[in-house]
Every structure is written in structure tokens, then in C-alpha cells.
Amino acid sequence: MNIPFVPSTRRRPLTHKTVTLAHGGGGSAMRDLIDDVFLAAFSGDGRAAPEDQARFDLAALMAHGDRLAFTTDGFVVDPLFFPGGDIGKLAVCGTVNDLAVGGAKPVALSCAVIIEEGLPVETLRQVAASMAQTARAAGVAIATGDTKVVARGACDKLFITTTGIGVVRKGLDVGISKARPGDVVLVNGLLGDHGAAILNARGDLALETAIESDCAPLNGLIDTLIEAAPGLRMMRDATRGGVAAVVNELAEASAVGVRLRELSLPMRAEVMGFCEILGLDPLYLANEGKILAVVPPEEADTALVALRAHPLGREAAIIGEVTGERPGRVVMQTRFGGERIVDMLVGDQLPRIC
Amino acid sequence: MRYVDEFRDPALAATLVKEIGAISARLERGRDRPFAIMEVCGGHTHAIFRYGLEGLLPDLVEFVHGPGCPVCVLPMGRVDDCVAIAEREEVIFATFGDAMRVPGSRKSLLQAKADGADVRMVYSPLDALTLAKRNPERQVVFFGLGFETTMPSTALTVLRAAREGVQNFSLFCNHITIIPTLRALLEQPDLGIDGFIGPGHVSMVIGTAPYRFIAEEFAKPLVVAGFEPIDLLQSLLMVLRQIETGTARIENQYARVVPEHGNPQALKAVEEVYEPRETFEWRGLGSIAGSGVRLKAPYGAFDAEKRFSVPDVKVADPSSCRCGEVLTGAAKPWACPEFGKGCTPETPLGALMVSSEGSCAAYYQYGGMRGEAA
């Protein structure tokens, strides 16, 4: 019997409405998912080289600086979509910002997703599109990735891990242990928006507010800051644990005291109201588009002006200074001249905010 | 922020601090120890630390942080009972978040959750009732905790459960009342407390009349206070004025919220649902007659203690802990040998280190400036 040869069309658009365990099985269903959802979003044509790794030309990297920066972060935020962002945007911004605060130019990210079976494919497409859009805005490539599907209940909807590499510019050496007494502490804008937005988006509280997450890639803003304040001592993005966690780490690592002024903390009235109602302290609320920077006193003004000139730094403010008193301690001057110590939180009352 | 900023006005605070200083200076002669003013409520303790009020006071005036944090006075044995209920296969155990980390003798609810118990954090007892309706095949138990402030909301939840016939909902009732405990405190022979800042939220429910015995029988002034820094400073000044003039009255600084006779509707719900227990154990203070409530017989079907057998074993606090003395103002937190060593917010031995309203946690976290210097 003569069996006719039928040309195989291995690459097909994904027609399933939901992700099943078959999409993680390593076969053609998985490749369809990767090609049609992720590669289509990340590389535009869904036809990236089917290799197991991304490859970089070292000489091209070294044009940006002389050290490689390397970081990773997992994202489990609940809900997946929230005012001002979604898990995809967060996953790109988080890793881009972790590279940028080290003085690195972010170059490329990897993206590993763990999907709970039953997740609508449309949800995955939206997340992938958001990742692609954010990566474009930040000027980084999503160069490699991995997909796993787990049984219902083995994870919650969708978890994403991004890993990033970047190149640290020559001559720049910022670090958490480099603050000195007299230095000035700045933030690039309103604090607490992300934590408040996520808590509110969960809908448990039945509060009506228009608070949006501040989730944003900060590498552009940080370029501006480095330019304006070449003596920059350190930068950190004030994510989980908020500004309070970062200043405490800074005080401990640099063996200095930090004095904050409550009246100088930039905060949205809605966030303050939200915290009032719930008894939260906005200093501990997470941010996803805010850095805390320490600069020498003589560069404080130019740093502030530069931050404020950037769209993501319009509400930038000097919030305190580094002191030689009580090393390792953060003290806040309350609005009527009292003082209190700002410590780190032990646990988080708000799990899964990023 | 309207209605908030007015109560945090630095200029007004400065005026009040100045007046407090002036009274203190006038009272100084012949006084060998500071005037000890107890703020009964944990919410006040938190505000005092958050706004750094202690540092503004003259040496002759100090706050003593009282027993008004319901999480802090919950005895270890009751936490064990919670864990025992929560670990039952059929149970969803619903609780406010701040009770999750309170140590039991075996584990906290947080640890029980990690070990597989279905413990859910809710923001209101009504959320627990909703959980029960959504999970008809499970038993949903709400961890009722707190003073008269939270009692009406759990009472109304039980009433609604009864009205709607929600049979898989029950209440593990650990509600306590402040008045018998204040009496027990005042009856201590060597009590060194000169006056009281009365609890604002409790008083919003019960009114100011129940405190009269404090002035009439024990000749101590009490001022019911709000929770903003200006409220607290003004209330402190009102107490000191009474001390200066040798009077003892019940005053209401928080009249914008607290009516003299409380909230009749809330009191009606509480009256309908709860009755006093003969006695209830307080951590650090021991058993106090009439200080706890339980569900009345008609609502017995919603009583988790009847629905599930609980171990109900009394567990002594670690002997090195001085929680009781700290709670009654006899010792400052840093006088306890475990403070900041064996007992920290990461690994609390006593509940005063758990809640942000507990004085040990407050001193540890916000750093009592005086304590650290001492």
C-alpha cells in the first residue's frame, strides 16, 4: 500500500482556551504554547533561534562597562492584574530595577513561568504582552526562558521568575555599605502606592480608592541620577518592607545612623488615608517604582533637581540624612518634634505583594 | 488629611507639652517618684510610641502601658485550644491577622497553618460567616478576640448566623471585658499608678459611666481619650490638672466619638448574645472573676467550645518572663531578663512582644528612648 507523504505543520497557533498539563509535557503542545504565546510576544515573529540558551557577544557588552551584574527574582503576586500593572510588568520591572540600582545598564532577562493547569490562555497572552511592552520600554531583551505546567493546586495560577544580566559602568561603585555621616537620603517620589494598590485590589476590604501601583522600570531615571551625582553612594529599590527596610539595611551595613523626617516623606493623601483606616505604617508599604538614594551633601541639590526633571521623579524629595549617632539605628523625627526608632518588620502582614 | 491633621498639629502639641511641663514643675516639690499615668488601651500604647510622645514629657511624668491589648493578654492555653480546633480536618479557622503569631505552648496559628491547618486571615467576623456559606461542607470557626470594641461585631455575626440558619459557623469566644480587670488592678495593695487614660474605642461602646468606681472608690482620675497625639497629650494634661487640684473624676476628652451612655444598639446586641463567665485567665495577670464572656444558652449551637472538645489546659508562662509585672506597670519591659534576648519580635516568649500594641514589642520596635539610654 502506498502511503502518501503529508507535509507536517509542526508550528500551529494555540487554539486551546486553557492551559493543560499537556502544555508542559515537552511535546508539540508545549512548543505551540511557547511559540504562539511567549516567542510571539517577546521576539515579534515567534521564530527565535530554538536554542537552549541565549548567547552574547562579550565585546559588545564590554562597550557598556567593565563588570557584569547578575540578579534574579521570583514573582507570585496575587491578584495577577491590579491597577497600574500586572505580574508580567512587575517581573520585568523588578529585575531591571535590581540591576539598575547597582549602577548597571540592564541588557537581557530570562523568564521562567510556572503555570497552574486551567489558567486561561488569554491570561497568559496578556501577561506575555505586558512583559514584552515593559521590556521594550526599559530597553532590555527577554532572551531566554522556560515553561512548566503543574497540576491544579500545586501553584496558584501563575508564578514568574526573571533573571537579568547587566553591565556596570566603569568607575561607578555604589553599595549599601558606602554611606557616610553627612550624606543625604533621597527618594524619587510618592511612597506606598504599590502595597496599597495590591491590598486594595484583593477586594477584601471593600474600600473604594483609585490608588495605582507605581510599578515602573527605573533604569532611565537612574541614568539621569548617576549623571547628576557622580559621587552617588548607594541606591536601592524600596520594594518589600518599604523604605523602612532599606534604610535599616543601609544603617547596619554602613555602620551609620539615619535620621528621617516624617514631614518630608512624600505620600499621596489616598495612601495616607488608606493606612489610617487599616492601621498600617506607610513606611513599610512596598513600592515597585521607587528608589532610595544616598548622595554626598554637595551633590544633594543637583541630584534632587535631576530626579524631579524626570517623569518618574517629579515628586522626588530629600527625606533625611546619614549621621554618626547610634550606628545601625534609624530614627525618625515625628511631625511635632518627637522621635521614634524605625525598625524592620518581623513578618509581613501583606503576603504575596510581588 | 481633614479630621486627622488637626489632631496632629505640631504647634498645638507644643502648647500642650508646655502646659504639662508647667504643671509638672509646680508638682515637683516633695515628689520622690514620677507621676505614673496608665494608658489602659493598646491602641494608645501604639500611638504613644508611633508619635514619640514619651520623649516630649518632663521627667516627672511617665506613661505606664496597661493591659488593654487583647492579643497580649491571651493566655497560652487558649492559643493551644485555637491550634487544636484549627488542626481538625473539617475546620476552616478564621482569625484577625495579629493573632496569628501569638505563641502557644506547642505552636502559633501561623505555624499550624504552615503545618497544614486551614487558617485564614479575615478582616471582619462577617467575612468568616461568608466563608461558612461558601464552604457548606466545612466547619468555619471564627476566633472572637477583643474587648467591648469588637464584641458587638461578633455578636451581630452570631445573630445573623442564627437568623440565616448557617449551621457550619461557630465562634471561639475569647472576648474579655476591661472593667473587672481594672478593678482587680486597683485592688493590688502596692499599685503605683496615679491616674488613667481611659480606652477610647471600648468607651465608644460602653460609655463613660462604668468607670465611675475608679474615681469614687479608688480616688484616681480617669480621662477617656482619643487616639491622636493631640488627644493623648490633652488627656494627660487633664489627668495632671485633676492631680494638681486634688480631684478624682471621670472626664471625656473623646466626646467627638464617645457618648456618655455608649452605643445602645451595640450594647443590646452584646447583651442578647453574651453572658459573663465566672472567671477568665489573662496572660500575666492570672484568673480574674467576671472578666470574660461566653455565648448565652440560646446561641450555644454557635459555641465552638461546645461543638469541638478543646484541651482547655492552663499553661504557665516561662518562669523567666515578667509579663505580669510589665502589664501592671510594676516593671518596664527592659527590666525583664528575657527582653531583647530570649524574647524578640522574631521569637516571642510572651505575647507582649507579638502585637504592635504590646508594650514590649513597642519598646523593642520603636525603641523606648529612655529605656535604651538606661
- In tens, the pLDDT along A157-167 reads 999 999 999 99
- Which helix (H) or strand (E) segment holds residue A338: the answer is none
Q: How far is CA A251 from CA A98, A178, A322, A327, B246, in A?
A: 20, 10, 8, 7, 48
Residue whose C-alpha is closest to residue B194's, from B218, B213, B211, B217: B218
Separation of alpha carbons A333 and A330, rounded Å: 10
Q: What digits encode the pLDDT tens for the residues B255-270?
A: 999 999 999 999 999 9
Kindly report, residue by residue over B5-47, the tens digit of the pLDDT: 788 888 899 999 999 999 999 998 888 889 999 999 988 988 8
Pairing mode, if any, of strands A317-323 and A257-261?
antiparallel
B50 touches chain A (CB under 8 A): yes
Residue indicated by cell numbers 520594594: A239
Q: What percent of chain B has pLDDT over 70?
A: 97
Mean pLDDT of A169-183: 96
Min Cα distance B298 → chain A (Å) is: 31
Q: Is the pLDDT of residue B104 over 90?
A: no
Tell me the residues of chain A between 294 and 353 that have a Cβ less than 8 Å away from chain B: 329, 334-341, 343, 346-347, 349
Q: Is B262 in contact with B207 (CB distance < 8 Å)?
A: yes
pLDDT value, residue A185: 98
Name the burial class of residue A25, with classes exposed (0-12), middle (13-18) and buried (19+) by CB atoms within 10 angstroms of its CB: exposed
- Please determine, for residue A257, whether its predicted confidence score (pLDDT) is greater than 50: yes
User: Cβ of A276 and B1 within 8 Å?
Assistant: yes
Q: Do B9 and A272 touch (CB under 8 A)?
A: no
Q: Does B168 score more than 90 pLDDT?
A: yes
Q: Does A153 touch chain B (CB under 8 A)?
A: no
| Mean per-residue pLDDT, A8-25 | 78
A123, A71, A106, A101: which is closest to A187 by C-alpha?
A101
Determine whether A330 is exposed, middle or buried from the number of CB atoms within 10 Å of its CB (0-12, 13-18, 19+).
buried
Over range A131-151, report the average pLDDT: 95
DSSP H stretches of helix in chain A: 28-33, 40-42, 58-62, 87-100, 121-138, 193-201, 219-228, 242-254, 269-278, 300-309
Q: Do A337 and B101 touch (CB under 8 A)?
A: no
Is residue B371's pLDDT more than 70?
A: no
Question: Does A350 have pLDDT greater than 80?
Answer: no
Coil/strand/helix, residue A104: strand
What average pLDDT score do residues B129-150 get? 95
Q: Which cell goes with A232? A: 552617588
Q: Does B13 touch chain A (CB under 8 A)?
A: yes
Backbone φ, ψ for residue A143 (5° rounding): -100, -20
Question: What's the pLDDT at A354?
Answer: 63
Query: pLDDT tens digits for B61-90?
Result: 999 888 888 888 888 899 999 999 999 999
- Nearest CA to A234 out of A219, A248, A245, A250 is that of A250
pLDDT higher at A298 or B311: A298
Instruction: State the average pLDDT over residues A296-302.
Output: 98
Closest chain A residue to B51 measured between Cα atoms?
A: A334
Q: Can you list the positions of beta strands (E) in chain A?
A: 67-75, 81-82, 85-86, 104-116, 141-150, 158-168, 184-187, 234-237, 257-261, 291-295, 317-323, 330-333, 339-341
CB B139 within 8 A of CB B86: no
The answer to whether the bond into A79 is cis (omega within 30° of 0) is yes
Q: Which residues of B74-112 are buried (b: 16+ CB within 10 A; e: fewer)?
A: bbbbbbbbbbbbbbeeebbbbbbebbbbbbbeebbbbbb
Contacts of A269 in chain B (CB under 8 A): 1
Q: Do B369 and A339 touch (CB under 8 A)?
A: yes
Which strands form A67-75's sheet, in the order they lie side by side? A67-75, A158-168, A104-116, A141-150
How many whole angstroms separate alpha carbon B104 and alpha carbon B83? Answer: 8
Q: What pLDDT shows up at residue A48?
A: 56
Per-residue model confidence (pLDDT) at position A280: 83
What was the pLDDT predicted at A2? 63
Interface check for A31 against chain B (CB to CB < 8 A): the answer is no
Q: How many whole angstroms separate alpha carbon B366 and alpha carbon B52? A: 8
What are the distances in angstroms from CA A210 to CA A197, A268, A289, A312?
8, 11, 17, 19
Q: How confident is the model at residue B373 (pLDDT cuts 50, 70, 90)?
A: very low
Overall average pLDDT of the A166-187 stretch = 96
The residue in chain A having the minimum alpha-carbon distance to the alpha carbon of residue B53 is: A338
Q: Is the pLDDT of residue A317 over 60?
A: yes
Local structure of B89: helix, strand or coil: coil
Q: Which residue has the higher pLDDT, B136 or B341?
A: B136
Cβ distance of A343 and B367 shorter than 8 Å: yes
**In the predicted model, what is the mean pLDDT of residues A325-340?**
87
Residue type (1 letter), B209: A
Closest CB to B229: pick one of A205, A336, A349: A336
Find the CB nearest A338 among B53, B97, B367.
Answer: B53
Best A263, A326, A340, A343 member to test B by mutation, with max B CBs in 10 Å, is A340
Residue among B51, B122, B123 whose CB faces A334 most closely = B51
pLDDT at B370 over 80: no
A positions 231-270 inside 8 Å of B (CB): 269
Residues B170 and A342: their CA atoms lie apart, in Å, by: 40
Q: Which amino acid is at B208?
A: T
B365, B370, B372, best to mutate vs chain A, most A CBs in 10 Å? B365
Query: Who wins on pLDDT, A207 or B246?
Result: B246
Among A92-96, B155-159, B317-321, where is mean pLDDT lowest?
B317-321
Average confidence score pLDDT of chain A: 90
Look-up of cell digits 519591659: B333
Do the strands A291-295 and A81-82 form a parallel or antiparallel pair, or are they unpaired? unpaired
Q: Does A7 touch chain B (CB under 8 A)?
A: no
User: B147 in contact with A at a CB cutoff of 8 Å?
Assistant: no
pLDDT for the residue A351:
56
Q: What angle do CA B12, B197, B156 make, to 5 degrees?
A: 110
Asked if B325 is an interface residue toward chain A (Cβ–Cβ < 8 A), one would say no
Residue A339 is nearest to which of B8, B14, B55, comparing CB atoms?
B55
Asked if A276 lies within 8 A of B4 by C-beta distance, the reply is: yes
Contact criterion met (CB < 8 Å) for A336 and B50: no
Instruction: State the pLDDT at residue B221.
Output: 98
Rounded percentage of chain A residues whose pLDDT exceeds 90: 72
Query: Which 3 state secondary structure label does DSSP give B311?
Result: coil
What is residue B372's predicted lDDT score, i.e. its pLDDT? Answer: 45
pLDDT of residue B374: 33
pLDDT digits (tens, 9 = 90+) for B286-345: 899 999 999 999 999 999 999 998 887 887 777 888 887 887 778 888 889 988 888 887
**Predicted local distance difference test score (pLDDT) of residue A302:** 98
What residue type is assigned to position A45 of the chain?
Answer: D
- What's CA B47's distance to the chain center, in Å? 13
pLDDT value at residue B158: 98
